Chain A
């Protein structure tokens, strides 16, 4: 944990919609929104289910296990604050429960990533208030 974290933090476009996700992450729990009308689990969090448009949704815990759908090793980030981290791995992880999530891979060599590689969630407490959801090889 650091008090000098200078990278962009998640911007909560709609506090009420996104807050449970980040509160759970702070407790080191991964949760996903699910529609109570059609049972569709979806990401990113939003007011209406993108399948049936119901606003009757709940948050459910998920396994935190998944696989790498795609990734890139970033050498030239457009945001200067990430320069010191380069090269770093930005990835899309497909959770076993279905939704895909944008993330970083930790504890992994930059030439050691393979698509469909199994990964599991790791929680990165970047500030006192914010925990980012990242993944590592399972």
Chain B
């Protein structure tokens, strides 16, 4: 049984991004879900599943139930999932499975948080005993991954900079992006170190905001507001917990989750017209491109040089500005951007007639990964 082309995203929405004081994680989540349902032209009584990624700023048990109550929905399935930055694609996958099994017809997958204006929460907490040695949060973990990539393959800081610069060039075309000022390689190189070899401009933003998508069967999708965006392929892979014990730091869950998604979709990297790849740090989409097969392992640095992924490049990537420039929130906005590109709603940043979009999510310090392939 394949899930290919049986389900569609029929609603997609984002809230304001950036520093938005006075709006709670709950309010961002509700606003995003409401906008996504309106985008689809569905009333809330059409929703029979509410699937949520937990907000890291302040984890609360039964979060999806709180969201459901705030939305005035009593769904057949309400679930809060924790796969960190891979969760949002995971939510879509679980929605597809539940629809395919006949348990539900329509799911809203939603996420919102206020880590910039609200409490920093888990971002500053150590993940294990390494806190005693001064390792907190994600930058030092991804710095050690970047260090290995540089050692094993000769990747340079300037090559990482090309990811940041290309992404900012896209963000400058997005009126809702958190950061839109032009950026050069020199700006990237001059920005201070957070955790060497990662400069400040290698690190994603911390942003308030929310995003949501509505998933339903292709049958239900036929007579709604917008043309359906079909889900061709989807997969996950989880590298598990302890960072120091990983056999390698330079291959991520993108390899196996990508194979699953491409195999299901029956397409390959050469068929992809636009990529929205999780970019919590510049090294992440570089490794993801390698593991998905856009280039050989270790050649990601050379691949992203000279604007390959920027506006006008051969592989448009993170067309709304990604986590690096549009919003630091954990990935739902990347799904929304892929949907917008496939609908032709990209405005100034619209890619020419894309037919296939690739989206990734990655969580923790390469702990989790998810891949989704969409078409119009």
- The interface of chain A, by Cβ under 8 A from chain B, is 7-11, 18, 42-44, 69-79, 82, 85, 87-88, 90-92, 99-104, 110, 115, 132, 134
B144 A79 Cβ-Cβ under 8 A:
no
Is B136 engaged at the interface, CB distance under 8 Å to the other chain? yes
A75 B194 Cβ-Cβ under 8 A:
yes
A91–B130 CA distance with the chains assembled, in angstroms: 10
- Known A71-B144, A72-B143, A74-B140; contact A104-B133, beta-carbon cutoff 8 A: yes
Identify which of B23-31, B160-168, B241-249 touches chain A.
B241-249
A18–B133 CA distance with the chains assembled, in angstroms: 16
B244 A82 Cβ-Cβ under 8 A:
no
A76–B200 CA distance with the chains assembled, in angstroms: 10
B244 A92 Cβ-Cβ under 8 A:
yes
How many whole Å from B156's CB to the nearest CB in chain A? 15
Q: What per-residue 1/0 map shows which CB atoms of B123-164 lie under 8 Å from chain A?
A: 110101111111111011001110110010000000000000
A100–B249 CA distance with the chains assembled, in angstroms: 13
Identity of the chain B residue whose Cβ is nearest the Cβ of A80 in the assembled complex? B124
- The interface of chain B, by Cβ under 8 A from chain A, is 120, 123-124, 126, 128-137, 139-140, 143-145, 147-148, 151, 192-198, 242-245, 249
A132 B133 Cβ-Cβ under 8 A:
yes
How many whole Å from A119's CB to the nearest CB in chain B? 14
- Known A44-B242, A115-B147, A115-B151; contact A75-B193, beta-carbon cutoff 8 A: yes
A8–B125 CA distance with the chains assembled, in angstroms: 10
A-B contact pairs, 7 of them (CB 8 A): A72-B139, A78-B139, A87-B193, A90-B130, A90-B140, A100-B244, A102-B244
How many whole Å from A121's CB to the nearest CB in chain B? 13
- Known A72-B143, A78-B123, A100-B244; contact A11-B131, beta-carbon cutoff 8 A: yes
A90–B145 CA distance with the chains assembled, in angstroms: 13
Identity of the chain A residue whose Cβ is nearest the Cβ of B139 in the assembled complex? A76
A74 B242 Cβ-Cβ under 8 A:
no
Q: Which residues of A contact B126 (CB under 8 A)?
A: 8, 79
Identity of the chain B residue whose Cβ is nearest the Cβ of A73 in the assembled complex? B196
A96–B126 CA distance with the chains assembled, in angstroms: 26
How many whole Å from A26's CB to the nearest CB in chain B? 14
A72 B244 Cβ-Cβ under 8 A:
no
B136 A77 Cβ-Cβ under 8 A:
yes
A82 B134 Cβ-Cβ under 8 A:
yes
A102 B249 Cβ-Cβ under 8 A:
no
B131 A79 Cβ-Cβ under 8 A:
yes
A17–B303 CA distance with the chains assembled, in angstroms: 46
A104 B134 Cβ-Cβ under 8 A:
yes
Further 12 A-B residue pairs, CB within 8 A, beyond A75-B196, A91-B144: A9-B132, A43-B245, A44-B129, A70-B249, A72-B143, A73-B193, A75-B194, A76-B193, A76-B194, A78-B123, A90-B144, A92-B144
A72 B134 Cβ-Cβ under 8 A:
no
How many whole Å from A8's CB to the nearest CB in chain B? 5
Q: Which residues of A contact B123 (CB under 8 A)?
A: 78
B193 A102 Cβ-Cβ under 8 A:
no
How many whole Å from B237's CB to the nearest CB in chain A? 19
How many whole Å from B306's CB to the nearest CB in chain A? 28
Identity of the chain B residue whose Cβ is nearest the Cβ of A134 in the assembled complex? B133
How many whole Å from B179's CB to the nearest CB in chain A? 18
